[in-house]
Every structure is written in C-alpha cells, then in structure tokens.
Amino acid sequence: MSGFNSKRRVVLLGATGSIGENTLRVISANRDRLELVGIASHGKHQRLAEIARQFGVKHVGVYDSAAYKNARQSTEFPVGTQFYEGAAGLSELAALPEADVVLIAVVGTAGLQPALAAIAAKKTIALASKEVLVLAGKFVMAAARASGSALLPVDSEHNAVFQCLEGHRSSDVRRVVLTASGGAFRDWPVEKLSTVTVADALKHPNWAMGPKITVDSATLANKGLELMEAQVLFGLRPEQCQAVIHLQSVVHCLVEFKDGSMLAQMCPPSMTFPIQHALLYPERAPAGTDSALPLEKIFSLDFRPADEGRYPCLRLARESMQAGGVAPATYNAANEVAVAAFLQNQVPFLAIPGIIAKTLAAVRNFEPGTLAEVLAADAEARRLALQFI
C-alpha cells in the first residue's frame, strides 16, 4: 500500500449501509490521510448524492436499475459525476485506476465479482463481506496470491485475529476463538423463541447493524460464517476455529498458541476501530471517531460457552466446515434465503436452521475445481431453499 506522502484513495462499495456509514466517519476523521474517490450502493441514490457532495466523489455506482435511472436524472450529484450500473458497474468501480483501496461492504455474495475485479487490478482489498470468502474462498485467496493484492479483514473479529497473529508463526497457533454477543435472544427462555417477531430480532444488544446481519447474530449463523471465513483467511483447520459467547463485545477474539499463551484484542463495540485499522494499515492514527475503553471505571468481561442446542445454526456451520467442498457455500446460500423469508414474515424465526439443514442434505457436496462450479452450487442451494420455504 502507498505511504502517507499522498492520500490513500478509497472506493467504498456499500456506502449507505452500517459499514459504509462508519467508513465515512473514519474518512472524515482522517482527511489528511484518506480520500474517497468512488462509492456505490444498491439503491438510496439521494444518500449517495449527499455523500458525493460531502466528499467530492465523481464515481458513483448504483446496483438497482430503477435507482440508477433516478440517480442519472438527479440534479443533486456534483457536476461531472460518472455513473456505474449494476453488477458490472460495481466491478468497474472496484478496478478504478486512481483507487488504492477498495472496501467491500455489500450485503451477501454480491461482493464476489467486485472483489475479483479489484484483485485483478492489484488493489488492496478491505473486506467486510464475509460471504465472499465463504462462497469462493480458495479461488479468491489464490487470485490474491497470484496478483499480489493484500486482503485486509474489516469484520471486527477477523481484524482482531489479524492483529493478534501479526509477527507470529502460523505453526505456533493452537486455536482461534471468535467472540459472539449471543444476539437479541441470548437471555430469552428457549420455549419463548417460537414467539419471536422480526422487530424482536432486530434489537441487537450491542451493535447497530443492518437487518440481515442482525438476524444472523440472533441465530449465530453470523458467527458460523465468520468461523468459515477465519479458516480461509488464516489457513486454519476447522477444529482450530471456535466461538464463545462474550456479553460485552469488548474482546473481539482470543488467539491461543501451542505454549498455552493467549492473546486478546480489545476495543469498544464500534466498527470504526477495525475499519480505521484496515484503511490505514500498517500505520495507526489517533482514535478520533470513538472513545477508548474506560479503564478508569470498573467494568467486567463475561464469557460463556456457545450452546449449539440453543444455536443450531452454529452447529450446522461447524458441520459444513468439516465437510468442506461446496457445503459452506450451500450453508451461506440457504441462510440468505431463509433470513430474507423471515424478514418478509414468510417463515417463523425457528424455521431458519431447518431450511439450512434441509438444503445441506439436498445439495450434493463435492470439491469444486472451478469458480463456475461454486456459483452453480450456490444457485442450486438457493433454488432448493426457496422450495423448502
């Protein structure tokens, strides 16, 4: 990555979501180091126009065709704005010649093609879309190695692991433990879960996130996806990737080494910390976006085992990791479909793990030799999951 003699130029895909808004806060606090040169979102063209004016951005991508048309007709964007449409537009933005870093924060697997485009263009990728590596991790990592692109994790847990592992040999790592808040229902009686509503599921105790990831936190499917991502990112075996419930969301990972020593990474539950680390890496800057941990006050750190009986999505994720092949991609696809159906009040909350389990059982597992085979398995999993709904 370029040094700070000149500003580091950033393309932000997913600019209007929770990660995007936190990224804008980081860039605003580091205007001497970071420059926003490209933005994209699924829709929300009016918010994109506000961002473009605030940061002087001339490259704007809109995924939804109707929103793209509205953006083109809008007079709210800066004069000379260049627009990019759909999936192809996101990939074109990801390879923008003037960009140094591409932060990928689009929901689900829509970030795969832009990630590959950024890698082919030898950009540094700051990755917040864990589904990209769950779907096609071995192909993405192989492409990054071939191009020399750096891939920096933005998820708070993976960024924490990245920081704890720096300077250590991978052969010395015994296990990586990711922390989970337990989601909206961690303290609910199990028998009450049959009454869960969408509004209930969107009340996360610690984090402010988008609807899909908030539901995933309630089922712990999100932690299952993160375990899969950690395996790919850090070259681990499935049994080296574990999860624990941590109520305060202050410790973001624990890395245990073979000598029994354990390192933890701690910061407040705000995404500005991992985003800033990834965008400025390997340098650091003052935390101007959020306050540090209040060590002058008394506070406690609580941990408890992750009960796979209470969180069957976590068990299914672990089994998918062990199975390998296209099982992780199948898990991810089925979960996306099931969560979308829950958010639309088509299925109850407790139906989500059942849809995932049925889809995993129905899709033939195999070791893919090409990206096309992975994408075909993903499509088949989505088709079957919709049938089970």
Q: 316 — phi, psi (to 5°)?
A: -65, -35
* pLDDT of 2: 44
- Secondary structure letter of residue 14 according to DSSP: S
Q: What CA–CA distance (Å, rounded) separates 110 from 90?
A: 9
- Residue percentage of the chain with pLDDT more than 90: 83
For residue 281, pLDDT over 60 is answered with: yes
Number of residues written out for the chain: 389
Q: 302 — phi, psi (to 5°)?
A: -115, 140
Q: What is the pLDDT of residues 110-131, one digit of tens each?
A: 899 999 999 999 999 999 988 8
Rounding to the nearest 10 degrees, give the CA dihedral for residues 371, 13, 127, 322. Answer: -40
* pLDDT of 187: 87
Q: What CA–CA distance (Å, rounded) separates 187 from 185?
A: 5
Q: What is the pLDDT of residues 282-292, one digit of tens each?
A: 999 887 656 77
Q: Is 44 helix (H, G, I), strand (E, B) or coil?
A: coil
Please tell me which residue, 180 or 1, carries the higher pLDDT value: 180
- Per-residue confidence band for 143, with pLDDT thresholds at 50, 70 and 90: very high
Q: What CA–CA distance (Å, rounded) separates 219 from 214?
A: 9
